Amino acid sequence: MSDKRGKRGDHPKHLKGRDIGEYYKNKRRKDDGERPHRRSEDGHKKRPKDLKGKALGMYYRDKKHMSREERKEITRKNIMGTILLSERRKEEIQRILESNIFENKSKEKATDYSHVEDSVFKRDFLRIIRGNINDILDEASSELIPDHRLDEMLYSFNQNKADDFQYKLLLKKRKKLPSFEKRVELLELIEKNQVVVISGETGCGKTTQVAQFILDDYIDKRKGSTCKIICTQPRRISAISVAERVAEERSETLGGSVGYQIRLEKKLPRERGSICFCTTGVVLKQMESDPCLTGVSHLILDEIHERDVLSDFLMTIIKKVITKRKDLKLILMSATLNSEAFSKYYDNCPHINIPGFTYPVEEYYLEDVIEKTRFDFGNEYRRYSDRQNRDFSDFIEPHVRLLEKEKKYSRNTCIQLRKAESEKVNLDLIFELLLYICHKESRKGAILVFVTGFAEISNLNTLLEKSGKFPSYKYHIYPLHSQMPTAEQKQIFMPASDGTRKIIISTNIAETSITIDDVVFVIDCGKIKMTNYIPETNSQTLLPEWVSLANANQRRGRAGRVQAGVCYHLFSRARKMLLDQYQKPEILRKRLEDVILVAKMLQLGKIKDFFGKLMNPPTEECTYISLDLLHKLNALDKDENLTPLGFHLAKLPMAPQMGKMILFGAIFGCLNPVLSVAASLDFKDAFQLPLGKEKLAEQKKFELSNGWKSDHLVLFRALEMFQTTYNQRQFCRDYFLSSSTLKMLIDMKKQFMGYLHEMNFVTSLDPAAKEFNVNSDNFSLVKACICAGLYPNVCFYKRTKKRGLLRSLEYEKLEFHPKSVLSRERDFESPLFVYYLRMKSSSDFIHDGTMVYPLPLVFFGDQFDASKQVNNGKVITINNALSFRCGNSTAAIIGDLRDKLNWFLEHKICHPGFIDWRKNGEEIPMLRAIMELITSEDLGDFDSDCFDDCDSS
């Protein structure tokens, strides 16, 4: 052994056995310039050797459940790398800083915004931050004034239409609906009360008929000019399809008495004597400028039992509005399951139920399925969770004992029901049940199978095809998922040819959105993937949960829409007793930033006070986290008022992160790629999940990544290539993209340009115009703009001896989702990433990410601190979590330039105007210096040991 490494026997004499080996291993590592294997003062040492058994388990438990504050403290000690600036670059920036650009203006700042020049923006902004909805409603006078000439015209039109053959034919069909029998009663109830709750199951006709009843009643009474009905729908497709159906029933085309309005698309009806179907978000957007809903006589909120966040939000605001607008009628329409709750929320307003119309459906449960198929879950023992143990001892076991006592089921069935595996989604069981239906059931007809997600669809499809028992000449198997190509989805509606049977494998998309006429059998797996928000980790989850009774009933009803059917529930009758009545409201399962901005635009006061008035208020922690993000985005000030940036973000019809992103894209002259990214993240990316070709699809997506190490730039490149390729259809086939989604994203970009144009940040509506894209080829700058929008969603990658690990700033373990192109990368020049969607399913996944260097985070992050002196330099810290080494002069220059940029951004947001990078205006030198600073090759450089500086656990 060399003298450098020392000789055996020179170790400290008190060391014995394994400790001696550890000493020499660490010594070798240290001599070779590596860090010692053991960790030190930061709390991440190897576990104490004296711990055994239960004590050892408690040690690892406490280590795993370290508080967020402790994790942040550990992360704060980590130096992510070194920021290096050349002397030439320092001198260039110093000259800009010493110039008198903005010197006097930079002192112009007042909390009353007196420093902002008078403009349309300033007047609108001050009106919002100084206004209060109660004052606006007190001054409201919005009752419709009758127009007798129009009344007569509408009456005559309706009378003439009564002789139309097509109208009479459709009217005959309408009269067969259960809702038509309640027509008179409904109209009397609405006439006598300001608020009415109407409940009814699918198929009763409430969605298409109630609005028509009201409109025709007004027209027949020669007061049609005072009738203007808005009917909300929770989904875009529902608003369009219902509007088209109602217009058809009235023997009209859209744009007459019936129309619709959704995001990006509208076909409005006439101004009076009309019905407009629209999404809930459209109504809320209208109320920002007109909270009284001037001119609206009736507001119908449909499908409120789904409890989406915007419907809950709108119900609460309208509750306040109707106290001032006594002439506004409110009709709430719900499924029968929880309609009483809505009546109670509106001070026990009257409630009327319309009976449904479905064919009888036989229902079977897990015990029946096991009995019919003789299925065995196997001998593998799996422990129940604590909750499962309680459910088993209190419900499942007593139920099984009762079955044994009654001797209605075999001994095997009772044994299987006691196994934990019986409460999981089991594709083998579904396979055996499909065999039973196809070979033992005499009835023909399609089979609809509900499973939890794409993986289950794919695996079951593979299982059926490889078994050889479902040959293609006898069985047509169709997957149904929201990310499947539209052309494939349409095939499920086509009737099966003679001698064949359709098998549709679907997620919960088939519960309410679609009806497949020839379905006779439904297999309900009993689970549904639900999105939930976990404030403790500030992340979302997408995990299978038990369906609610409402879900189970909807699934059963799919078999009884056009004929009698059968439904097999793959949960026991005992488990059914434990199901919730309906799913948790969405406002308790999501982040609240966009909701808070809407509330601020509606001048609703303090958020906590308003949230307290909702049917189901979110927790204080969720509210705090969303408010904190808006503070970090500089959308709200310390008094919870909108800032000028927050005002712009609230006006944009997208998540606030996307809004900030495109504003920065406009300012820095790289608008087109940033618009593509923002549209894709805010709507959905266009990549599809081709059944059986998942690996190839991942490979083709990776091809588009171009070495950028960014999922977000992949989204841009896919859209850019689609727009410039000659054969768009072939391009979409080659790269597994949805052409309809890509076209929608193009339309969204144009709409976003419209908003930027209204806000005076651009001078035309063309996102690809050269004047807005001078720097669009600088993808480092594009990444920086993405970073500005997505901050503080930051995670970091650290290299270990065996593999790399991904961590959040709170030190939780993360993984790149398999769909992310980053999951296929192995080497990263920077350990830092920004992301939009973090969701926990089988692991805690980052679904989309972009690798970034330190300086974009330093410039666009919050809580900048460069006060800490280390050796001969400084440590710059962002967000109390991300630290970077640099020299004293570099830290000073970065701090000054960052202050200058922050002032300029605030000035530009308060004085919106187009920045022309083609001309050398007074602001361009500073912006160009910042651009060069955050994109130069040599500025994001790290020391060779930067990954080692990131601590590990």
Domains of the chain: 3-78 (no CATH), 148-354 (3.40.50.300), 361-571 (3.40.50.300)
Residues 6 or more apart whose CB falls under 8 angstroms from that of 69 comprise none
Residue 1 has pLDDT above 50, yes or no: no
Who has greater pLDDT, 195 or 946? 195
**Spatial contact of 82 and 884, defined as CB atoms under 8 Å apart:** yes
Kindly report which listed range (585-599, 673-687, 879-893, 931-945) carries the lowest average pLDDT score: 931-945
- Distance in angstroms (rounded) separating the CA atoms of residues 944 and 682: 37
Residue 48 per-residue DSSP state: P
Contacts by 702-706, CB closer than 8 A, 24 or more apart: 702/821, 702/824, 703/735, 704/735, 704/821, 705/821
Residue 64 has pLDDT above 70, yes or no: no
- Distance in angstroms (rounded) separating the CA atoms of residues 821 and 848: 8
Residue 902 has pLDDT above 80, yes or no: yes
Residue 882 has pLDDT above 70, yes or no: yes
- Distance in angstroms (rounded) separating the CA atoms of residues 822 and 819: 9
**Spatial contact of 375 and 412, defined as CB atoms under 8 Å apart:** no
Question: How would residue 515 be classed by pLDDT, with cut points 50, 70 and 90?
Answer: low
pLDDT at 268: 93
- Distance in angstroms (rounded) separating the CA atoms of residues 383 and 394: 17
Residue 138's φ and ψ, nearest 5 degrees, are -65, -30
Residue 126 has pLDDT above 60, yes or no: yes
Distance of CA 56 to the CA centre of its chain: 40
The one-letter code for the residue type at 145 is: I
Question: How would residue 939 be classed by pLDDT, with cut points 50, 70 and 90?
Answer: very low
pLDDT at 948: 37
pLDDT at 5: 42
Mean pLDDT of the chain: 82
**Spatial contact of 339 and 345, defined as CB atoms under 8 Å apart:** no
The DSSP H or E segment spanning 873 is: strand 873-878
Residue 823 has pLDDT above 80, yes or no: yes
Average confidence (pLDDT) over 171-194: 91
Highest mean pLDDT among 175-189, 235-249, 478-492, 870-884 belongs to 175-189
Question: How would residue 943 be classed by pLDDT, with cut points 50, 70 and 90?
Answer: very low
pLDDT at 177: 86
Residue 607's φ and ψ, nearest 5 degrees, are -65, -45
Question: How would residue 50 be classed by pLDDT, with cut points 50, 70 and 90?
Answer: low
Residues 6 or more apart whose CB falls under 8 angstroms from that of 49 comprise none
For 271-298, b/e burial (b = at least 16 CB within 10 A) is ebbbbbbbbbbbbbbbbeeebbbeebbb
Handedness of CA 549, 555, 560, 565 (dihedral sign): negative
Question: How would residue 217 be classed by pLDDT, with cut points 50, 70 and 90?
Answer: very high
For residue range 588-613, list pLDDT tens digits in order: 888 888 889 989 988 888 999 999 99
Share of the chain above pLDDT 90, in %: 32
Residue 44 has pLDDT above 50, yes or no: no
Kindly report which listed range (20-29, 526-535, 621-630, 727-736) carries the lowest average pLDDT score: 20-29
- Distance in angstroms (rounded) separating the CA atoms of residues 713 and 783: 8
Picking from 330, 346, 322, 313, the residue whose alpha carbon sits closest to that of residue 142 is: 322
- Is the bond into 792 cis (omega within 30 degrees of 0)? yes
- Distance in angstroms (rounded) separating the CA atoms of residues 338 and 332: 12
- Distance in angstroms (rounded) separating the CA atoms of residues 873 and 893: 13
For residue range 406-441, list pLDDT tens digits in order: 888 999 999 999 888 888 899 999 999 999 999 988
For 360-373, b/e burial (b = at least 16 CB within 10 A) is ebebbbbbbbbbbb
> With 0-12 CB in 10 A as exposed, 13-18 as middle and 19+ as buried, what is 761?
buried
What is the Cα gyration radius of the chain?
32
For 425-455, b/e burial (b = at least 16 CB within 10 A) is bbbebbbbbbebbbeeeeeebbbbbbbbbbe
pLDDT at 483: 54
Average confidence (pLDDT) over 213-229: 93
pLDDT at 570: 96
Question: How would residue 202 be classed by pLDDT, with cut points 50, 70 and 90?
Answer: low
- Distance in angstroms (rounded) separating the CA atoms of residues 521 and 450: 11
What angle is formed at CA 152 by the lines to CA 149 and CA 155, rounded to 5 degrees?
Answer: 150
